[in-house]
Amino acid sequence: MGLLSLAIWLPIAVGVVLLAFGRDAWARGVRWIALAGSIVSFLVTLPVWTRFDNGTSAMQFVEKSPWIERFNVHYHLGVDGLSMWFVLLTAFITVIVVISAWEVITERVNQYMGAFLILSGLMIGVFCALDGMLFYVFFEATLIPMYLIIGIWGGPNKIYAAFKFFLYTLLGSLLMLVAFIYLYNAAGGSFDIAAWHRLPLAGTAQTLLFFAFFAAFAVKVPMWPVHTWLPDVHVEAPTGGSAVLAAIMLKLGAYGFLRFSLPIVPDASREWAWLMIALSLIAVIYVGLVAIVQKDMKKLVAYSSVAHMGFVTLGFFIFNDLGVAGGIVQMIAHGFVSGAMFLCIGVLYDRVHSRQIADYGGVVNTMPKFAAFALLFAMANCGLPATAGFVGEWMVILAAVKANFWIGLLAAVALILGAAYTLWMYKRVYLGAPGNRHVEELTDINGREFLMLTLLALAVLWMGLDPKPFTDVMDASVADLLKHVAQSKLP
């Protein structure tokens, strides 16, 4: 078993073991096993970074063995500069989520922890899969634990939200499966994604494949106008579910554009880039305006996620190295920042049991340590320099200006809107005199919450102050991808 297989199957194995602990009387032991399993799973991913060769765009840590031989399906894994950081990000966020649920989840603790660990392994599998059918299996399998997390531990309308999440993402993925079967036949009976990259596809076929991929990945990102499932799901999901959904699961869609749409159908990607840019700018501006009028903190951050992911797709379809690298950096930064924002909302919800902005006010008076963390993450969400939120957005705006001044100008409006809705929420929730008796009775964060927020704060500051380790990894792969896209594939 190679390093990537270990990163995938170790958390899944621990998660399956946890499912065997059926009684809540064993909850304390379950929590410690889940924490140990998530930490070891994260440590396993570290050599993927420390041994990674930044100088090549080739796949690294490759594993390949036959799986379904009759259909030439292989268990084929590997990472390059486009995917490596997401393996570490997934494992890191899983550790944070396990810590966040320590005292909050008191019923079916084994199932909750097990679902997150299994989900972690499946998501890492998506980022590592180099076989189309293996990718599809991992991509679809992630729906199951997240569906259960929302449907069992969610809010009052959890069943509605879980069904909406499942149906939206499943319907899009079915078109992707049709595209995979077409590519399998076009490649002479091969599910090898690298072989698909070399196929000389006709213009009509490229266009149809592009929109099949779009159906699957745009819903997952989610892009406007197929974003409507996200706010409902975030509002009903438990805190850990919202954190993982925003930090990792949304990235699966954006990663799909990088791994499939751009390299397999480059001509169609260039032809329909105007549509992708237009939809991205609508997400950045219109959804940013929608975020301003939200009264529920979770809904506000959910719409904020749609706006920030608009930067990602904008960067990808500008077709220059700064834009693509900026989009990937924005995905990583959004993983840290949005996860932290949802966990902060969870800290307040655990105490007051309300997500309504109007039910707070003056939290800084009773929770000064927590308010300091919340301010850092709010500033990162605004894109303040020296935080993770600044780097990717700035790279994408520079790339957009280089491509077209007006696109760059419209993208830059998002920074103003981001500051508007984030700081206005912070002002109403945290500043001023205590808003009511509940706020006056609040207690500041405990050691567990302090550890959880400190780890995220360090990640946000590290990426903001020293982004070079993040960008160095992806430079060679981004350059190779753009070179590939620039070469026409039309026969």
| Predicted local distance difference test score (pLDDT) of residue 490 | 63
From the list 419, 410, 455, the residue with the least C-alpha distance to 96 is 455
Per-residue pLDDT averaged across 291-296, rounded? Answer: 84
pLDDT-based confidence at 71, cuts 50/70/90? confident
Phi, psi for residue 154 in degrees, rounded to 5: -80, -170
Compute how many other C-beta atoms are within 10 angstroms of the C-beta atom of residue 384. Answer: 18
For residue 164, pLDDT over 80 is answered with: yes
pLDDT-based confidence at 40, cuts 50/70/90? very high
190 touches 72 (CB < 8 A): yes
From the list 152, 163, 310, the residue with the least C-alpha distance to 227 is 310
Q: Show the DSSP H helices in 187-265 as ranges.
A: 193-197, 203-220, 229-236, 239-244, 250-256, 262-264
For residue 59, pLDDT over 80 is answered with: yes
pLDDT-based confidence at 194, cuts 50/70/90? confident
CA 432 – CA 439 distance, rounded (Å): 12
- The share of the chain scoring above pLDDT 90, in percent, equals 8
pLDDT tens-digit readout, 199-251: 787 778 888 888 888 888 888 887 777 777 778 888 888 888 888 888 888 88
For residue 489, pLDDT over 70 is answered with: no
| Predicted local distance difference test score (pLDDT) of residue 487 | 72
CA 61 – CA 82 distance, rounded (Å): 14
Per-residue pLDDT averaged across 276-288, rounded? Answer: 85
pLDDT-based confidence at 488, cuts 50/70/90? low
Q: Are strands 60-68 and 73-79 parallel, antiparallel or unpaired?
A: antiparallel
CA 473 – CA 475 distance, rounded (Å): 6
Query: Roughly how many angstroms between the first and final C-alpha of the chain, as a whole number?
Result: 40
Q: Rounded mean pLDDT of the chain?
A: 85
CA 112 – CA 15 distance, rounded (Å): 9
pLDDT-based confidence at 122, cuts 50/70/90? very high
CA 30 – CA 36 distance, rounded (Å): 10
CA quadruple 215, 219, 220, 225: dihedral positive or negative?
positive
pLDDT tens-digit readout, 6-28: 989 999 998 888 888 766 667 77
* Residues 6+ away with beta carbon under 8 Å from 346: 100, 104, 239, 240, 242, 243
pLDDT tens-digit readout, 99-118: 888 877 777 888 888 888 99
pLDDT-based confidence at 119, cuts 50/70/90? very high
Per-residue pLDDT averaged across 386-414, rounded? Answer: 85
pLDDT tens-digit readout, 324-366: 898 899 899 988 998 898 898 888 888 888 888 888 888 888 8
For residue 135, pLDDT over 70 is answered with: yes
| Predicted local distance difference test score (pLDDT) of residue 22 | 67
Per-residue pLDDT averaged across 58-69, rounded? Answer: 85
Of the ranges 133-137, 234-238, 295-299, 435-439, the best mean pLDDT one: 133-137
Compute how many other C-beta atoms are within 10 angstroms of the C-beta atom of residue 156. Answer: 9
